[in-house]
Structure 1
């Protein structure tokens, strides 16, 4: 199976490493030509996770159409503010038999729309892939260092969610499934707000009860 990953930041790079280690053929998109050259030549991302070795089965490109070609699984791992533009760049290439995975934890600035809403808005109904939201507490560095981690693949399409689960799970990464796409998207979007609020409460000298409240 070929997996396309759109975005070569920390999480996108980590997902490429995970999929490559699992033996999949991986295509990684980055707008940074220096990153692409380094991934293909030296098998490292010099900007994000520079000490991590990227498997030889990962090929990088700045051409989004090339990355998506023949992909069965497409994973978007880019900042939420860049999502609409990337979806528009993919709109003429995506196919209904693909599975589209959002690994982006956020909502669109200005509109407040979730990633699944943007997918419905940008991709034509006749060529729209099944949608899966991949989210959970997952620092990229810890995942590739094989720290025990659990995430969720949420989709209204059970078969699509299970395929993502089986494709990305390994001994130290447990991927669960559910059908609550909206809840999973919103949970990933507000986690940092909750963390900041908890830090403020702790900074004021209050204890665990107040933080939990």
Structure 2
């Protein structure tokens, strides 16, 4: 709780023009919501592991459990995908915009990046941005987030997980990034993705750009 309070105080100091309601303290992160742009940024506190440079411990403020991770390594993982695919960043932003508007809160930002990276690895980067975003939604809807996702960067030792959704942290294979997603939440995410895919598919078939606002909100801008 003291760590959460410290983060809260620091955020208020860093963003003095933002109201208190714009901050949300979660189990492992603090979310800063920028109302004007609709952007949400997760801030994750990590306690440095002196024995392993670059790595640190991430604590759960509710049960006190901890996992090891490497923030800079995770950033590099995402950067590598951006370098591989010029549309990766745009696709991730679209996915996060959909997540926020649909209020699919259990699906965290890093999990979205990892799912998008998995879709890139398995389906490639061919097709329009609209098609590829539909592929992202369709993957979630069809696979149901029931298959374990891992990456070439994952190395031993590997963890054994019984969680409803398992996406390995690409920089630490003993960490399941989605361990907090319950079975009920998994079903909610899958149902939301199915609904979104149907809407996006209809928008494409009818060539109706306005329908996309049903996914991203009335403020979403589309090209004429």
Which structure: greater strand fraction? Answer: 1
Structure of larger gyration radius: 2
User: TM over 0.5, yes or no?
Assistant: no
Which structure has the higher relative contact order (CA within 8 Å, separation 6+)?
1
TM-score norm. by structure 2 comes to 0.28
TM-score norm. by structure 1 comes to 0.29
